[in-house]
Structure 1
Amino acid sequence: MTKAQIVGWAHSKFGKSSAPDTETLMAEVVAPALEHAGVGAADIDGIFVGVMNNGFSKQDFQGALVGMAMPELGKTPAVRMENACATGSAALYSALDFIESGRGKIALVVGAEKMSALPTAEVGDILLGASYRSEEAQVTGGFAGLFGQIAQQYFDKYGECSDALAMIASKNHQNGVHNPYAHMQKAFTFEQCNDVSDRNPYVAPPLRRTDCSLVSDGAAAMIVAAPEVAAGLQRAIAFRARTHTNDILALSQRDITQFDGARRAWAASLEAANLGLYDLDLVETHDCFTVAELLEYEAMGLAEPGKGADVIREGITHKDGRLPVNLSGGLKSKGHPIGATGVSMHIMAAMQLAGEAPEGMQASNAQLAGVFNMGGAAVANYMSVLERVK
């Protein structure tokens, strides 16, 4: 089967943007992505947009906004995908399916979200759309409250490990200093992340402010192409494997101290790629909250259940560790504009493989990378193994 390849990308600065809407944010990245890939608007056979929205904006029909942002694309077939925090990966995988089915040769993927224009309480309520509202809508602290419950149940089952969560936060902020696209390019020490204070209060105990990703605006765009097209372009990053798994939405119906859907996605992708975990040179994983990264260590096979804290304590996922995780700073430092996140994560890994990551962030001679993006509390799980072709 023909497998589509990544041939170009563009990424906005994540943070609190002066851009008023997703149309404006998408306009920042579409033309630069085409230029980076070395293709024109007329070459694009399909447009795949990832925007969660769910109330961030009264303007919907977001797929059509790319044609408003760039009129040359106004008559190109476009569709919008939504899959909670994995919305960007849903758009990307749909574009890959489009190419691999033979329906087109080149596709544009755009992920975007404008979150910061609304009060924090409204943002929290919108994000609860990624939960099972009939049971979880009244959780104190919104989506952070759900992950606070996950962390507390994990602590109750395996022992308190707030220090490990603080180590994850500090690691990702140290990495994010080198990422010019990151929302917060600021280093935090372990002590700053571990201590509860006026500047680092509990948000949803046992999670502190430094355990939670940021409310961000931003956009990211990617060009994917059939291999025969990619062969004539400057760069090509292939999907050696990719897997999408799901788990039950309601937290009450599963063991929330384990991300079983994530585990199945990792296992399937590594098997399909014929690789072991340590064959990868780096991983970009979905650290919407620090406890998510810890549970993902266990899901990807770095540790047995209940032993994820040992991974960060032993330095395995640090920049100079055996398997660096979130060299970009992750969602924790880079930010988490929902629809853009999955596209951004794949770009961060592709940059590494192409040798185009920013100075200080670039891994040495990276050839293989894992990308894990999830929607909700590991409900929709997307796992990609990327490798450099040229």
Structure 2
Amino acid sequence: MNKNVHIIGAYNTKFGNLEEETIYSLYEEAAKGAIKDAGIDVKGIDAVFVGNYSGGSFNNQEHIAPYGVNILPELRHKPMYRTENACASGTSAVHMAEMAIKSGKAKNVLVVGVEKMNSLDTKNTAIALAKASYWEKEGAHEYTFPGLFAEYAKGWMRHYGYTLDQLREWMAEISAKAYQFGAQNPLAHLQKARTKEEILGIPDEKNPMIAYPLRLHDCSLISDGAAAVVLSEEARNGSVEMVATSSVSDYLNIVDSKRGNYFLEGAAKAVQEAFEQANMTIYDIQVAEVHDCFTITELLIYSAIGLAEKGKEYKALENRDVFLGGRCVINPSGGLKAKGHPVGATGVSMHALLYKQLTGNAIGVQIDNANAGLILNIGGSGATNMATILKRSKK
């Protein structure tokens, strides 16, 4: 289990409302793109892991992993697995692929994340996503995911004594940062830059309340897309090493839960475990792709990853720590808020784009002298928490 695992190739499709694409075409584009980028013979792939949240709900296709054989007949009779862990389905696939290599079961593994979401109307999409909650206590009582993460926003304000106006300012700044980065990412779902002042000035009818206190511009997007990476036991010039991986589970529900609603405890523990594995701290990380499914989530992530104290997460904004040129640039891809959030693809996309970032081939904004990066992918309302630390491989 001491083998080093490296990302040797990656690919990310365009994210958005991709009317001409299907779950099959997205899977194919990402898989073939990553293999080409890695420069590896298809026959050298020993296994395939596919992150997909709910192809059954969105596309009437739950059993999706073996479609890899249809795409690449050379992989016939190779093992293929689908992973589901809500919004962390993609990182689950990456981590399981890493385990396959470390265990000696495989030398090279293809990981694909895919979701084609824009096939249902808004109501049925919300229902499909709510199935990632604790249905009996939450989804069945008409809690949507904006409503679940609104519990964090209300809990944080109540616990630390902040006002709605203060929170709106900080959330608008996070949203504006995402839009600024997304505008420079040609693969992003949203590519229109906005300032904090512009967001705060949007009329209520164009920025409606989705679940108090979260408005439309506090929410990530319903997106189609796919991403893929190739993992290998062998480093090569231009590869990136997975120096740490961690997964932490917590109570499934946030409503009436034993976990707090003002701090991302599971996320913080996952990140801390990854730092301990790598013998690193947040001060060794120059860039991170984190799970900004809502603006409140990113705000709370600042304390979870160690950029700010609990209750003073806004300091990371005030100090410009998370912006371009800051101590640890957060979501230069635009994040879920602007790049998009095709659920099963999200975690793989984080790995794919951070790989590109660390090899100096960023899609969009390039962070100068970035040597190490952090990924934090969250499933459900904080029930699944997965962290990865990537670092340029030693040549």
Task: Indicate which of 72, 75, 78 corresponds to 2:77.
Answer: 75
Aligned to 1:170: 176
Aligned to 1:250: 253
Aligned to 1:325: 330
Task: Indicate which of 178, 188, 196 corresponds to 1:190.
Answer: 196
Change (3 A) 1:112 1:5: same
Give, as a single letter, the amino acid of the residue that structure 2 aligns with 1:288: C
Distance 1:147 1:304 in 2: 20
Q: Helix, strand or coil: the match of 1:239? A: strand
Task: Indicate which of 350, 367, 372 corresponds to 1:368.
Answer: 372
Aligned to 1:204: 211
Distance 1:344 1:223 in 2: 12
Q: CA deviation at 1:138?
A: 4.6
Answer yes or no: is 1:305 the counterpart of 2:306. Answer: no
Q: What is the CA deviation profile of residues 85-135 of structure 1, one whole-angstrom value per residue up to 9, with x for unaligned ones? A: 000000011100001101111000000000011101111111111111111
Aligned to 1:339: 344
Distance 2:198 2:149 in 1: 21
Distance 1:10 1:302 in 2: 29
Size of the alignment, in residue pairs? 385
Task: Indicate which of 112, 118, 123 corresponds to 1:110.
Answer: 112
Task: Indicate which of 219, 224, 230 corresponds to 2:231.
Answer: 224
Aligned to 1:144: 146
Q: Helix, strand or coil: the match of 1:63? A: coil
Change (3 A) 1:321 1:17: same
Answer yes or no: is 1:264 the counterpart of 2:269. Answer: yes
Give, as a single letter, the amino acid of the residue that structure 2 aligns with 1:197: D
Aligned to 2:241: 238
Task: Indicate which of 90, 93, 100 corresponds to 2:92.
Answer: 90
Give, as a single letter, the amino acid of the residue that structure 2 aligns with 1:219: A
Counterpart contact for 1:164–1:313, Cα < 8 Å: no
Aligned to 2:26: 25
Structure 2: where are the runs of 5+ without partners? none
Q: What is the CA deviation profile of residues 301-335 of structure 1, one whole-angstrom value per residue up to 9, with x for unaligned ones? A: 12222111222132111112121101111100000
Counterpart contact for 1:139–1:146, Cα < 8 Å: no
Distance 1:356 1:39 in 2: 19
Tell me the percent identity.
38
Distance 2:374 2:170 in 1: 22
Change (3 A) 1:139 1:287: farther
Q: CA deviation at 1:4?
A: 1.2
Q: What is the CA deviation profile of residues 245-276 of structure 1, one whole-angstrom value per residue up to 9, with x for unaligned ones? A: 11111212211211111111111111221112
Aligned to 1:123: 125
Q: Mean alpha-carbon deviation: is it higher for 85-94 or for 240-249?
A: 240-249
Q: What is the CA deviation profile of residues 141-166 of structure 1, one whole-angstrom value per residue up to 9, with x for unaligned ones? A: 61111112221221122212111011
Structure 1: where are the runs of 5+ without partners? none
Counterpart contact for 2:253–2:383, Cα < 8 Å: no
Distance 2:294 2:198 in 1: 16
Counterpart contact for 1:50–1:87, Cα < 8 Å: yes
Aligned to 1:51: 52
Aligned to 1:280: 285
Aligned to 1:215: 222
Question: Given the two structures, how large is their TM-score scaled by the length of structure 2?
Answer: 0.94
Give, as a single letter, the amino acid of the residue that structure 2 aligns with 1:32: G
Counterpart contact for 1:19–1:25, Cα < 8 Å: no
Question: Given the two structures, how large is their TM-score scaled by the length of structure 1?
Answer: 0.96
Q: What is the CA deviation profile of residues 10-67 of structure 1, one whole-angstrom value per residue up to 9, with x for unaligned ones? A: 1100001134431111111111211110112111000000111151121221111122
RMSD, matched Cα? 1.4
Q: Helix, strand or coil: the match of 1:3? A: coil
Distance 1:362 1:87 in 2: 27
Counterpart contact for 1:241–1:273, Cα < 8 Å: yes
Counterpart contact for 2:145–2:381, Cα < 8 Å: no
